[in-house]
Amino acid sequence: MKRLPIPDDVTGNEIDKSVRQELLSLPKTLAEDVARNLVMIARLLDEDPETAYGHAKVALRLASRVGAVREAAGFAAYATGRYQEALAEFRAARRMTGTHELWPIMADCERGMGRPERALEMAGAPEVQRLDKAGQVEMRLVAAGARRDMGQAEAAVVTLQSPELGSSAVHPWTARLRYAYADALLDVGREAEARDWFAKALEADHDGTTDASDRLARLDGIEFTDALDEEAEEEMEFQGEDEGPEFQDGDVDEDSVPAAFGGEEYYDEDDEEYEESEDGESDGAGEPVKKDVAEPDVDATDD
């Protein structure tokens, strides 16, 4: 089995207590190895998802019967656009642990596979009522995205209208909910309202999870110039000066000077686990939909 390099400072003790509890069923050395790979998944998921996916594959080979491993593998596959594989891993994790928390991201995988109608079915399923407030907001975001995938822009606006949207309280999901609403408004031509909601999203976005400031600037007609592009242009001009033009006699060298979820109850018809194709890619289609779903809860810090 091919192992990926892991820094010496990663001990495996960084994982969440609940995950550590699941690993107690494994021999100590094996549990430590799995834990270190889980830490690497959490560390690399945003900045290097492909390497995180590699660590997930290692963890799966070592402990495929551990729910936390299947969940982490699902997030890694999701982050790399392997939506069919991600859905299979999330289903397996859900069967093993009984958790309902994965329901929104499972629905988003359906979107990523080009099946928004199934995402809407899941949005109308009883499982949604078992989600906490954050999970229900995530489900609303996914449902709105599915509406837009189906060309139902007005319905997407209605889907996002909710008490959570109108609340002045700021929660971890507030900025993304307001941002999604602003984007949906812009999609139906309500530019003035969209601008207001992008501004509200920016007020709530303390961690920079959205690009609301950039969207506001574009609506205001402000264009940004990439500082790196300016530096490259200046360097080229400087190099041109070093080479110097060819002068004729008498020439003078002068200096030169960027709401409604809507949907029937969801029936899981194909619950078989993902079988990887020969080229290692899933058969799923669709654009990445990561902004509609919360960041994976593969916590690398102790509670």
> Do 1 and 94 reside in the same domain of the chain?
yes
> Do 172 and 217 reside in the same domain of the chain?
yes
Instruction: Give the per-residue pLDDT at 187.
Output: 97
How does DSSP classify residue 270? -
**At 81, which CATH number?**
1.25.40.10
Instruction: Give the per-residue pLDDT at 248.
Output: 42
In this structure, is the dihedral angle defined by the CA atoms of residues 31, 33, 36 and 40, taken in order, positive or negative?
negative
Instruction: Give the per-residue pLDDT at 294.
Output: 44
Number of domains in the chain: 3
Buried b (16+ CB within 10 A) or exposed e, 110-148: bbbbebbebbbbbbbbebbeebeeebbbbbbbbbbbbbb
Judge whether 92 lies within some domain: yes
Judge whether 267 lies within some domain: no
Instruction: Give the per-residue pLDDT at 121.
Output: 98
> Do 129 and 80 reside in the same domain of the chain?
no
Judge whether 174 lies within some domain: yes
Judge whether 56 lies within some domain: yes
Judge whether 243 lies within some domain: no
Length of the chain: 303
Instruction: Give the per-residue pLDDT at 268.
Output: 53
> Do 14 and 83 reside in the same domain of the chain?
yes
* Cα torsion through 184, 187, 190, 195, rounded to 10: 60
> Do 42 and 86 reside in the same domain of the chain?
yes
Question: Judging by beta carbons within 10 Å of its beta carbon (0-12, 13-18, 19+), is residue 190 exposed, middle or buried?
Answer: middle
Radius of gyration of the CA atoms of the chain, in A = 24
Name, in order, each residue with C-beta under 8 angstroms of 194's C-beta and a sequence gap of 6 or more.
Answer: 182, 183, 185, 186, 219
Instruction: Give the per-residue pLDDT at 232.
Output: 56
Q: What is the mean pLDDT of each run of 10 residues along the chain (303 residues)?
A: 88 94 96 98 97 98 97 98 98 96 98 98 97 97 98 98 96 97 98 98 95 95 66 58 44 36 49 48 45 46 43
Judge whether 55 lies within some domain: yes
How does DSSP classify residue 220? T
> Do 64 and 21 reside in the same domain of the chain?
yes
Residue 181 and residue 174 in contact, taking contact as beta carbons nearer than 8 Å:
no
Judge whether 70 lies within some domain: yes
Instruction: Give the per-residue pLDDT at 223.
Output: 73
Long-range contacts, 150-157 (Cβ 8 Å, 24+): 150/116, 150/117, 153/184, 153/187, 153/188, 154/188, 155/260, 155/262, 156/184, 156/187, 157/181, 157/184, 157/185, 157/187, 157/188, 157/259
Judge whether 198 lies within some domain: yes
> Do 31 and 60 reside in the same domain of the chain?
yes
**Which residues constitute the domain of residue 204?**
162-224
> Do 166 and 127 reside in the same domain of the chain?
no
